Structure 1
């Protein structure tokens, strides 16, 4: 109860806000930047971290597969920004909002659309004691310090982007509440200026959240909704390269590049494999319409093709089935029949006698294989084949992780298990997570409706 009392009090404080606008310019690049935190770089993972990432990936899958995540409570230019990886599984960027600009750190997310930030000096975050994250260090936006902060009015079409056209209200857009699997956030909608070093975007719709649970930063939504950053800025394509997880919580970052304007998506990048985005299911819940669906035709383990039932490989008109690309998921999720077929193929080719049952229980991952002492195993390659013939051949470190003192390695793909039972069978059947595409260049060509990828050393450093 106290959470909701605090929320209603803080929301009422926010209704005292008001005000103005700004202008435009040219080329922008955004670093995907980390929080400056000391972190022991390693190629292996303790069982607590693996278990935490597996659990959060399953919770994320449950959120993406559930419906209605948002509820109400009553000429060519290029932008780039740094992108950084964190031990709780996300990648972040820093953006400036307001006049004068205030810098806030946001989790980069292709699986949702609203851009929201922790807001006001009274921001509350419950359960935000993540590894290396102190809630007191969460960067917050202070609307009263910005001359361009304005509440979104009830009649403003942008209010309906988030809350639907059927809402009943008198003056300001009602407050929102969003569920994110592990956490949630609630607040009100603002019109604000998004400020890049040489280009400003006035009247940018953003969420001013005053209370959250288990959200260590705000969210930069890059999904397909009208309220997403790419949609509001008219981005023709965006691309990024996800750092290896060994750079979690370090000062190393890669770039997120936004290509603007009508012609920005008309060119393809050399050495990049492409597959087309599928049309989003029209009869599905609106929650499923913001995802980036691709057609994963085949999963190959070694030289053996794993059969994927058609109902899982292609989304139906109801939004069930199919594969989405989600930067907000850490480990790839597969519906149990798909996962079981993949896991069984690994077990068959590596050998059941190499299994590490204790490590499987502790990490929440399976299969795990023993590699300590004189024990050596040959792990087959994992390849995803997409519509159009493009092949994503994963390096071993993208689908198996060393466990603890390197006594075992575990498959970093998750499915419903005894720890996280009851995951919805609705929504996407396969969620391609960030762990599997670390050290890959990824391109979302919105103008040509294509998804591109290529192996790349994202840090620019020698491995």
Structure 2
């Protein structure tokens, strides 16, 4: 037994030195070590609450955003090609306890969580609409502007949702936005015959929401509210939105929650997407102090593109894997830009960059047994019997010198419930028809993402929830 163990130990030490790039003294900055109990959550923490199965006939051609198929608005439509496999990607849990950061007045912080129990892979918050306030669970999305909920009388169509549908006649603070209001112009400027403003948002898979642009009191907590919040009172809502009650838009446009709240709470917001599907993170509107125990915020410039004015772009120029800078030219990223999006599940890289990342990752993971590919992931490993996993640190580098270091859950994903010890590299190549690189919510989990719109910068604080 000793004769067999020595070569194995030597091999593992060799791999660790390779991960370090020959400088094991700097190992902490170049690779990660995480126990299988942490990755899989132990027997007491289920890694995932299953989303309803995807049937190929039900999967839209544009699925970058959720398992319920809600893609980008039609204005930003692109075509992915053939419908993907029905297998759903799972976020993987890391055992950091949820931490609510101390909010600096006048900021307000509310819990967020995964929406898998409601049929979506987006993240959700619960807020109140109306007077008296009625609670609704809504997905929140940095890639959308218009917030909306379903409203009676549902003159067109309302889908089955988790909570009772909002009835404007029972609220003392509801009003329709008149046609001449500036916010009506921001919504498209369409009006009904009785002079009220209409809105419509259509998504690339054909789903849509339409109704009356309205004003209402939005209660973020029992003590903090936004009177006169402009939102869509949706009376015709078509497509598959899961069981959520609507959507909160956090884009850069005039009608987003973050834009409307800027006068009251400041032009900033942040969120931390929880590591576990059974735990909570947080969404903060306003400026906050980062979660305690962090090693500080790393900021990079927030880029705005004329063709996509509501989106949050960053100037990604390279990716570092285990201290090794991938040999791909920066123009692969800078030519089209890189979008940070809370509503996209995975990270989509230019094919050349993905190939370099995959090959380097394989080079550093030769001590582990390969596993069959699991569509759409082509690089998987069987970690059965392992007590801990050593993996390279993956870091996104930006043109201003800043960086975003991914936590283990942003590097590996465990997609197969029938093979819970099978982990896959949590990146995919970007389709040729996708207009830019996207950093999705799997890579954002466990990191506080700070959107300082006033200062036009985005910050990252790892290990925050």
What is the TM-score when the length of structure 2 is the normalising length? 0.70
Query: What is the 5 A alignment of 1:195-214?
Result: 195-196=219-220, 197-210=222-235, 211-214=237-240
Show the 5 A alignment for 1:240-319: 240-244=271-275, 246=276, 248=277, 250=278, 252-259=279-286, 271-278=296-303, 280-282=304-306, 284=307, 288-314=308-334
Q: Deviations over 1:409-451 (max 9, x none)?
A: 11122335xxxxx66232xx22111211211122111121111
* Correspondences of 1:205-244 after superposition (within 5 Å): 205-210=230-235, 211-216=237-242, 217=244, 218-234=246-262, 235-244=266-275
Q: Distance in 1 between matches of 2:54 and 2:325?
A: 28
Deviations 1:222-261, CA, capped at 9 Å, x for gaps: 11000000111113221222211x2x2x4x423322227x
Cα distance between partner residues in 2 of 1:376 and 1:336: 30
CA change 1:409–1:257 in 2 (3 A) is same
Equivalent residue of 2:211, what SS? strand
**Match in the other structure for 1:9:** none
Cα RMSD over matched residues?
3.6
Aligned partner of 2:26 in structure 1 is none
Cα distance change on mapping 1:93 and 1:347 into 2, 3 Å: same
2:45 is the counterpart of 1:41 = yes
Q: Post-superposition shift, 1:152?
A: 2.1
Separation in 2, partners of 1:195, 1:376: 44
Is 1:409 the counterpart of 2:409? The answer is no
Report the CA distance shift for 1:375/1:351 in structure 2 as closer, same or farther (over 3 A): farther
Contact (CA 8 Å) 2:109, 2:283: kept in 1 or not? yes
Give CA deviations for 1:72-106 in whole Å, capped at 9, x if unaligned: xxx96122212112323221111212122221111
Q: Residue 344 of structure 1: CA displacement? A: 2.7
Match among 381, 397, 410 for residue 369 of structure 1: 381
Query: 1:337 aligned to 341, 348, 352, which one?
Result: 352
SS at match of 1:67: helix
Q: What is the alpha-carbon distance in structure 2 between the residues aligned to residue 222 and residue 336 of structure 1?
A: 29
- Structure 2 spans left out of the alignment, 5+ residues: 1-42, 78-103
Match of 2:434 in 1: 425
**1:185 is the counterpart of 2:209:** yes
What is aligned with 2:361? 346
Match of 1:318?
A: none
The separation in 2 between residues aligned to 1:407 and 1:384, in whole angstroms, is 27
Matched, 1:111 2:143: yes
Residues matched between the structures, number: 373
Distance in 2 (CA, whole Å) between partners of 1:451 and 1:51 is: 37
Q: Contact conserved, 2:368 with 2:383, CA < 8 A, in 1?
A: no
User: Any gaps of 5 or more consecutive residues in structure 1?
Assistant: 1-38, 70-74, 127-134, 316-320, 417-421, 459-463
- CA distance in 1 between counterparts of 2:344 and 2:144 reads 11
Deviations 1:336-395 (A, max 9, x none): 3332332233234435995423xx24x421211233468998532211122332222222
Q: Is the 8 A contact 1:84 1:243 kept in 2?
A: yes
**1:158 CA displacement:** 0.9
State TM-score, norm by structure 1: 0.70
1:24 equivalent in structure 2: none
- The residue aligned with 1:419 is none
